[in-house]
Structure 1
């Protein structure tokens, strides 16, 4: 890449950022928290209450030294292992979250968990290593406090550590990132504020509630969706909101009880959103960063909502549902369920979890997924992370080998696709969805990709139109690993779903089958196949028809 191109990439990446993101990034880089001054004479009295939540996290503490995260086991035998250079950053973050304390089968592991808690305190001095970064602190504080209260512990060492971690969190709130990270900071401060009595608790609580008030308004859209436009992160934030409702009801804290009605109203909208974005198999659709096993499943969230006396929203039964603020549309006709992405990549100042998936689709037939976006198995900055964010890994159109949005660096985006038109209509026996984006106009002026999908009880038809000058386009359809295919002709293919249903795929141009991979969980790679239609023509039509 030329120097000029590199400068443009950085310019378009930095341009949308908020002032506070730049200010706090520079502050934390040049003036990081290097030591923690905590008064040893300060009285730390705690409140007692019991909080119960559904369990969904798998066991991660295997024995005194063995742990397992993201489908990968390792030994934590020495203090250095908490920050081992052999492990990916995300894996190390999970090590420091302590999700096991409230995970599946936690009742049988109390002594093991307590040993790990004290090991963490002894082997992770302030403010060294991954465990003292604000996001792991936030998740760990909530996990420790839930666990501490459930077992009605009285342990001054743990209480002192909770206080020290909360002080460290206050000193490095994630205004440089914003989004779900800052929301997690606020939630942790609120838990700490209710945990401690007196002025100590009030200081943390007031700060947490102040941030939460701002972020609820900023991060949850009018249709109930989370503004980062990832069904996975939506589920995480919904869980956080339900946890706060639970905290209010369990602790009976007067300040929280005054706010709980508003939180419940918002949670109900977020539950309705989740219903729309969930496949018939009960798991989320894969748009932007999304995978199963990180966030609680939709069923777990619905169960949690019922426990908190929130209605499990059944959702609108219309054939056509458009989430207007987040710009996803779900169509359901007969046994077909179609998800259509006409959203932009995410907030302009926070596209970290966005993929170049403009006008991508997913499709199920009954409870069998047929068309799948490739999912997310890694973070970081490597080539696999880049591939999974690319247009090439989604069910949409790639032009001249480029991405519809300039995703780069693991979590960065320069110029992003803008949606320039959208319409959807419902007839007696079909649904039609159409949209256009200008993501490729940066390559050649006036280059526009438009997609029109028609769904009936017997077929899905997609018509892709490319307006403007280009050399080569690829229409991509990634098939679920459990589908079986048989070539019938140069433009015709038999697809058999896991449930036995059969589809005939026909297209206006010859296709080829390529090997690919699907990533339904972090750390998981499953071989699958994809249909690739390569052409220089401006109109390409594809049809998936019930046999």
Structure 2
């Protein structure tokens, strides 16, 4: 019965087309419906190339994806899921074609492409699933624009891949999957002058870009990692449309010019001072290209990149997405006062409402635990739960009902919010009703006050509950101890103190996951509530 209720509270948010296309895909099988003419396209000198990735496959076929390496053996490894299905997906993306130094590895890359063509018959295996198809097609065409010497057989294969994809769009999922489907068709449609693919792409993108990009520039799935990935897609499409201008793509180009600057600003807002992404929802470093490379690409295309002034005490409410930010004296706090992402596609959401992360200068201090894997399993579920984030868990319940690998049933809603600067403090506050919706529990209110040398966290409840625990996960590089009811945290250039008198506090051994497949030991401060309102203040000095 519980599983049925979870399913009901999950499915009720979906769009009707998602039901229709899920059923449609059971009967309408994808196919290659068009034949390559044999006319090899010509490169365009207006294309701007930027190396986006670090090396992923060495010249002796040592591949590293998701922080896991192995010596490749073909054809078996094209579908060898011993590491994980996602690892195999990454093998099919061909991102090494766009890595630093790729221009010195053309022979290897042509060999890999030939091996792929020989080992992946049409429609068979992971490589023909729509998501890997959608990444590989643009990656190969981008590498070709940069100088990779593709021949007629390669273009014939790309043409077949695009034709197959055009009959297998992920309209049952929508979101980032459907977005990259359309991007791939845009590349293939323009390069191969296929009006059907181009029409599908432009029509879809003109609708999806305003829907998937919120007014503050945030990608609507509300994960900083996917925001960076989609921003690269937007830059790629602008690059392509600028190199091949046409009346058919003029409206799309205008949309890209409008939204890319907003997305660049939002990436700045959600990044830590070290340049890495903040770990809200499914976000870790090492999947999207680094922020510096994305910004370099944007500048090369003529976009301005604005820097945030973290020295001045300020409070920012990026209300369309729900995220908030406070800065003072070079320190930066990022606060999740956002709802679960789009109701009909919350697969990358965590139960992390009112969690936060903090950096003092370039060093991260309070960090959410991150994401080490996708798929099904207890570890994936635990990493999505409230207990794995810098927020409060009530009576063992999650603020939103995350379940399975990518499901969410009842969801927390943020019901109040404010931001202001009072004297020398940036003050952010918000409340949510997740525990009331999920378990009949209380409304949770949280206020964060950041100054140049302190952070005060105030939590309060309106309603009844049994137990509540606030957690504060520390970056693994920090040393922490509790002595005589005082917490001490030692960083490279600072020392943090917190008076824990009258608080039920303990330090727990936990793990932090800065990337897929990675796990590092760290500490977590746990504060068990003894009253309806509780506060703790962390103060620091430089060393």
Length-normalised TM-score, structure 1: 0.94
Does the 8 Å contact 2:470/2:528 carry over to 1?
A: yes
What CA distance in whole angstroms lies between the structure 2 residues aligned with 1:542 and 1:445? 27
Residue 514 (structure 1) aligned with residue 505 (structure 2): no
What is the aligned partner in structure 2 of residue 389 from structure 1?
384
Report the alpha carbon displacement of residue 315 of structure 1 after superposing the two structures with TM: 3.9
- Equivalences for residues 100-499 of structure 1 within 5 A: 100-151=96-147, 153=149, 155-197=151-193, 201-253=194-246, 255-256=248-249, 259-315=252-308, 319-445=314-440, 447-490=442-485, 492-498=486-492
What CA distance in whole angstroms lies between the structure 1 residues aligned with 2:497 and 2:60? 54
Does the 8 Å contact 2:224/2:279 carry over to 1?
A: yes
The number of equivalent residue pairs is 537
What CA distance in whole angstroms lies between the structure 2 residues aligned with 1:78 and 1:245? 36
Report the alpha carbon displacement of residue 446 of structure 1 after superposing the two structures with TM: 5.1
What CA distance in whole angstroms lies between the structure 1 residues aligned with 2:259 and 2:325? 21
What is the aligned partner in structure 1 of residue 67 from structure 2?
71
Report the alpha carbon displacement of residue 47 of structure 1 after superposing the two structures with TM: 3.7
Report the alpha carbon displacement of residue 270 of structure 1 after superposing the two structures with TM: 0.8
Report the alpha carbon displacement of residue 147 of structure 1 after superposing the two structures with TM: 1.8
Does the 8 Å contact 1:375/1:519 carry over to 2?
A: yes
Report the alpha carbon displacement of residue 250 of structure 1 after superposing the two structures with TM: 3.0
Report the alpha carbon displacement of residue 37 of structure 1 after superposing the two structures with TM: 4.6
Residue 58 (structure 1) aligned with residue 54 (structure 2): yes
Does the 8 Å contact 1:61/1:113 carry over to 2?
A: no
What is the aligned partner in structure 1 of residue 535 from structure 2?
541
Q: Call closer, same or farther: CA 1:333–1:207 in 2, change over 3 Å.
A: same
Partner secondary structure for residue 504 of structure 2: coil
Q: Call closer, same or farther: CA 1:261–1:30 in 2, change over 3 Å.
A: closer
Does the 8 Å contact 2:216/2:320 carry over to 1?
A: yes
Partner secondary structure for residue 358 of structure 2: strand
Partner secondary structure for residue 364 of structure 1: strand
Q: Call closer, same or farther: CA 1:152–1:80 in 2, change over 3 Å.
A: closer
What CA distance in whole angstroms lies between the structure 2 residues aligned with 1:434 and 1:417? 16
What is the aligned partner in structure 2 of residue 502 from structure 1?
495
Partner secondary structure for residue 139 of structure 1: helix
What CA distance in whole angstroms lies between the structure 2 residues aligned with 1:96 and 1:506? 52
What is the aligned partner in structure 1 of residue 86 from structure 2?
90
Report the alpha carbon displacement of residue 321 of structure 1 after superposing the two structures with TM: 1.1
What CA distance in whole angstroms lies between the structure 1 residues aligned with 2:279 and 2:6? 27
What CA distance in whole angstroms lies between the structure 2 residues aligned with 1:442 and 1:252? 50
Report the alpha carbon displacement of residue 56 of structure 1 after superposing the two structures with TM: 2.9
What is the aligned partner in structure 2 of residue 28 from structure 1?
25
Q: Structure 1: which 5+ residue stretches go unaligned?
A: none
Report the alpha carbon displacement of residue 20 of structure 1 after superposing the two structures with TM: 1.2
What CA distance in whole angstroms lies between the structure 1 residues aligned with 2:462 and 2:112? 60
What CA distance in whole angstroms lies between the structure 2 residues aligned with 1:180 and 1:318? 35
Report the alpha carbon displacement of residue 38 of structure 1 after superposing the two structures with TM: 4.4
Report the alpha carbon displacement of residue 45 of structure 1 after superposing the two structures with TM: 4.5
Partner secondary structure for residue 49 of structure 2: coil
Does the 8 Å contact 2:316/2:326 carry over to 1?
A: yes
477-486 or 527-536, which deviates more = 527-536
What CA distance in whole angstroms lies between the structure 1 residues aligned with 2:439 and 2:64? 48
Partner secondary structure for residue 511 of structure 1: strand
Question: Deviations for 1:475-515, whole angstroms, at most 9, x for unmatched residues?
Answer: 1000011111132223x2011123x2111022441211111
Length-normalised TM-score, structure 2: 0.95
What CA distance in whole angstroms lies between the structure 1 residues aligned with 2:516 and 2:203? 33
What CA distance in whole angstroms lies between the structure 2 residues aligned with 1:268 and 1:27? 38
Q: Call closer, same or farther: CA 1:431–1:154 in 2, change over 3 Å.
A: closer
For the aligned residue pairs, the C-alpha RMSD in angstroms reads: 1.8
Q: Structure 2: which 5+ residue stretches go unaligned?
A: none
Report the alpha carbon displacement of residue 468 of structure 1 after superposing the two structures with TM: 1.8
Question: Deviations for 1:343-391, whole angstroms, at most 9, x for unmatched residues?
Answer: 0111111101100000001111111111001111211111111111111
What CA distance in whole angstroms lies between the structure 1 residues aligned with 2:84 and 2:355? 29
Report the alpha carbon displacement of residue 397 of structure 1 after superposing the two structures with TM: 0.3
Partner secondary structure for residue 402 of structure 1: coil
What is the aligned partner in structure 2 of residue 17 from structure 1?
14
What CA distance in whole angstroms lies between the structure 2 residues aligned with 1:257 and 1:175? 25
Report the alpha carbon displacement of residue 207 of structure 1 after superposing the two structures with TM: 1.2
What CA distance in whole angstroms lies between the structure 1 residues aligned with 2:382 and 2:29? 33
Report the alpha carbon displacement of residue 272 of structure 1 after superposing the two structures with TM: 1.0
Report the alpha carbon displacement of residue 163 of structure 1 after superposing the two structures with TM: 0.8
Q: Call closer, same or farther: CA 1:65–1:297 in 2, change over 3 Å.
A: closer
Q: Call closer, same or farther: CA 1:63–1:368 in 2, change over 3 Å.
A: same
